[in-house]
Chain A
Amino acid sequence: EIVLTQSPDFQSVTPKEKVTITCRASQSIGSSLHWYQQKPDQSPKLLIKYASQSISGVPSRFSGSGSGTDFTLTINSLEAEDAATYYCHQSSSLPITFGPGTKVDIK
Chain B
Amino acid sequence: QVQLQESGPGLVKPSGTLSLTCAVSGDSISSSNWWSWVRQPPGKGLEWIGEIYHSGITNYNPSLKSRVTISVDKSKNQFSLRLSSVTAADTAVYYCARGTLGSAYGSGSLDYWGQGTPVTVSS
Docked-complex contact B61 and A95, CB < 8 angstroms: yes
Q: Is the interface of A mostly helix, strand, loop or mixed?
A: loop
Interface size class of A (residues with CB under 8 A): 20 to 34
Chain B residues within an 8 Å CB radius of A65:
none
- How many residues on the B side are at the interface (Cβ–Cβ under 8 A)? 28
Q: Is the interface of B mostly helix, strand, loop or mixed?
A: strand
> What number of residue pairs across chains A and B have CB atoms under 8 A from each other?
67
Interchain nearest-CB distance for B43 vs A (Å): 11
CB within 8 Å of A: which of B29-80? 36, 38, 45-48, 51, 59-63
CB within 8 Å of B: which of A1-37? 1, 32, 34, 36
Docked-complex contact B116 and A96, CB < 8 angstroms: no
14 extra A-B contacts, CB within 8 A, seeds A49-B100, A50-B108, A91-B106: A34-B110, A43-B113, A43-B116, A44-B113, A46-B109, A49-B108, A49-B111, A89-B110, A94-B105, A95-B59, A95-B61, A95-B62, A96-B106, A101-B45
